[in-house]
Chains A and B, each alone.
Chain A
Amino acid sequence: MEPLQVIREEFTDDIISVVEFRGQVSITIRRDHVLDMSRFLHDEPGLYFNYLLDLCGVDYLGKRKPRFEVVYHLYSLKYRHMIRLKAQVPEDDCTIQSVTPVWVGADWHEREAFDMYGIAFKGHPDLRRILMPEDWEGHPLRKDYPVKGPEKEWSGFIDVLDRSKRFREFEWHE
């Protein structure tokens, strides 16, 4: 594939592997130069990946050593080609550069990846939880987080139950 050759020549040290499956190309990269690669892919004539379709995290607990992966789906409206970048993020140093300077739409996707996996994005303008309540503990989409939810009930829910107790005792006045 044409874009693949260009990327391979420009960033040979960062690329770990390239896989093609069902006509789609996935490039696994090291996380150090994600922002430079994004700028290159966005601006380079002939590539023009001006559209960030999706940004998500994947947890490979027990299967692979760098535990997390941040997956970017990039699309070029002009040349109509799509590519998938997967940046590996280890568990002990769970950070990666944010690509919001290149695509503004990555903002909320990165907040969701932080909320669900605990991956911190350096340089993000406003990194806080988005789908879970602000004082939630834990990162739900990790593989070691139970599907049923945590054993300890969330403090906000206990708050609501307490407040509704007052309305259960009703006095009839004649």
Chain B
Amino acid sequence: MEDTEGTFETKELTISMGPQHPATHGVLRLVLDLDGESVVKCTPYVGYLHRGVEKLGENRTYLAALPLTDRLDYISSMNNNVGYVNAVEKLFGIEAPERAKFIRTMVAEMGRISSHIIWLGTHVLDIGATTPFLYAFRERERILDLFEMVCGARLTVSYPRIGGVKNDISQEFLDELYDFVLDFPSKMDDYETLVTENRIWKERTVGIGVISAEEAINWGLTGGTLRGSGVNYDVRKYAPYDAYDKVEFDVPVGQKGDCYDRYVVRIGEMRQANRIIKQCIEKLPPGPVMADAPKYTLPPKEMILKDMEHLIHQFVLITKGPSVPEGEVYMGTEVPKGELGFYFVSDGTGKPYRMRVRAPSFVHASVLPRLCQGGLVADVIANIGTIDIVLGECDR
């Protein structure tokens, strides 16, 4: 018999995991240089969803630029709004009333749960576990129905406003939310039974995409991606905003920095978010939901047709915008994907001179080459799922 163990001539194959692909969670293009099955080099190309949010924000007043932020990370739009509104309130120097802060904390944590449900469903679906996807979306439907009850929109909400929230919540909303909160931990146990101790899941994610704590800090990672490596950095604890200093919650932190630890961290975050919502419902104070700052916030609708002063305020705030002091402000808030930062440069007019959005998905997409190098093609899919990017935020 001939000796078939001779050397084969191989060469590197360059394939494009193109913008349209079921597992890239949006329009992300990866050009992979492969040597057989292992990845030699990975180059991400982003920008397919670039809509010019920063340029548009420079031509609108602060209130009119709020719906632009809904569409940044379209999965958790409540959190984007809360981040924007907090940064603008810091720039103006006004503060929202207590009830509005608790309501904002509550809807932000609901947004966190619903965003992590999508992460869980799509990540495990890419790797092959097809069952949790549909069952987890059951919970997300309940949350979106609650959003519709409070502000009329399911996905792009624009509910938190500068100075508070748009309208008060009803008792029916609180009752249904409380039912959800009591029910959620048992549902989480169901999903964890399917995935967490599963041998196939562990083989696909333990030891994949490892990044050490110092490297993760140097790359600028935030949120669950950073906490999986053991760094206990959470903006809600380091620089609390809204009502986060009045509720008790823990921040789950991983150890090794692989995909499995990031998975465990995000599951823990969902349970902690549930805990925060329960405390917010129990501690909700009575009072107004919009700050009493007539120069910066819109007056209540019923006063506009009765009082001349309110009519003039409404007219000036909508057309020209509020008169903002000159200066610059950066404020970061913890959205489900990481730290969303807004940097405003104000030149005294009612429109921001520069509105900069520091998107966590942009930074996380840049670390993909580092994670994928040396791994297999199947691990590229696991890595894309674990860094949890949304291209709307990455490209703005």
Q: Contact: A141 with B93, CB < 8 Å?
A: no
From 316 to 346 in chain B, residues with beta carbon under 8 angstroms from any chain A beta carbon are 327-330, 332, 339, 341, 343, 345
Q: Contact: B330 with A53, CB < 8 Å?
A: yes
> Measured between alpha carbons, how far is A13 from B39 in the docked complex, in Å?
48
Q: Contact: B218 with A56, CB < 8 Å?
A: no
Q: Contact: A50 with B358, CB < 8 Å?
A: no
Taking the nearest CB of chain B, how far is it from the CB of A71, in angstroms? 7
From B52, B55, B217, B332, A77 is in contact (CB under 8 Å) with B217
From B47, B330, B343, B353, A131 is in contact (CB under 8 Å) with B47
Q: Contact: A104 with B219, CB < 8 Å?
A: yes
Q: Annotate B262-294 by CB proximity to A: 1 below 8 A, 0 otherwise.
A: 000000000000000000000000000000000
Interface size, chain B (Cβ < 8 Å): 42
Chain A residues in 8 Å Cβ range of B125: none
Q: Annotate A22-40 by CB proximity to B: 1 below 8 A, 0 otherwise.
A: 1010100000000000000
> Measured between alpha carbons, how far is A37 from B221 in the docked complex, in Å?
22
From A53, A80, A141, B332 is in contact (CB under 8 Å) with A53
Residue B35 CB within 8 A of the other chain: no
Chain A residues in 8 Å Cβ range of B233: 77
Given contacts A52-B220, A84-B330, contact A132 B59 (CB under 8 A): no
> Measured between alpha carbons, how far is A131 from B48 in the docked complex, in Å?
7
Q: Which residue of A lies closest to B239 (CB)?
A: A80
Chain A residues in 8 Å Cβ range of B21: none
From A22, A52, A130, A141, B54 is in contact (CB under 8 Å) with A141
Chain A residues in 8 Å Cβ range of B353: 58
> Measured between alpha carbons, how far is A108 from B396 in the docked complex, in Å?
14
Q: Which residue of B lies closest to A58 (CB)?
A: B354
From A22, A50, A80, A82, B218 is in contact (CB under 8 Å) with A50
Q: Contact: B341 with A53, CB < 8 Å?
A: yes
Q: Is the interface of B mostly helix, strand, loop or mixed?
A: mixed
Q: Contact: B330 with A24, CB < 8 Å?
A: yes
Taking the nearest CB of chain A, how far is it from the CB of B55, in angstroms? 6
Q: Annotate A97-114 by CB proximity to B: 1 below 8 A, 0 otherwise.
A: 000000111111100100
Chain A residues in 8 Å Cβ range of B354: 58-59
Given contacts A22-B91, A147-B55, contact A51 B220 (CB under 8 A): yes
Q: Contact: A58 with B362, CB < 8 Å?
A: no
Residue A54 CB within 8 A of the other chain: yes
Interface residues on A, range: 35 or more
Q: Annotate B199-236 by CB proximity to A: 1 below 8 A, 0 otherwise.
A: 00000000000000001011111000000000101000
> Measured between alpha carbons, how far is A51 from B219 in the docked complex, in Å?
8
> Measured between alpha carbons, how far is A71 from B356 in the docked complex, in Å?
11
Q: Contact: A130 with B46, CB < 8 Å?
A: yes
Chain A residues in 8 Å Cβ range of B393: none
Taking the nearest CB of chain B, how far is it from the CB of A38, in angstroms? 12
Q: Contact: A105 with B395, CB < 8 Å?
A: no
From B345, B358, B366, A58 is in contact (CB under 8 Å) with B345
Q: Contact: A103 with B356, CB < 8 Å?
A: no
Q: Which residue of B lies closest to A59 (CB)?
A: B354
Taking the nearest CB of chain A, how far is it from the CB of B349, in angstroms? 12
Chain B residues in 8 Å Cβ range of A82: 330
Q: Contact: B50 with A53, CB < 8 Å?
A: no
From 108 to 139 in chain A, residues with beta carbon under 8 angstroms from any chain B beta carbon are 108-109, 112, 116, 129-133
The 3 A-B pairs with the shortest beta carbon distances in the complex, nearest first, are A105-B220, A21-B327, A131-B47
* 24 A-B pairs whose Cβ atoms sit less than 8 Å apart in the complex: A50-B218, A53-B330, A54-B330, A54-B341, A54-B343, A56-B343, A58-B345, A58-B353, A58-B354, A63-B347, A71-B343, A73-B341, A73-B358, A82-B330, A84-B330, A103-B220, A104-B215, A104-B219, A107-B366, A129-B47, A130-B46, A131-B396, A140-B55, A145-B55
Question: 19 new A-B pairs (CB below 8 Å) besides A51-B220, A73-B341, A145-B55?
Answer: A21-B327, A22-B93, A22-B329, A50-B217, A53-B339, A54-B330, A54-B356, A71-B356, A73-B330, A84-B328, A104-B218, A105-B366, A107-B366, A108-B366, A130-B47, A133-B47, A141-B55, A147-B52, A147-B59
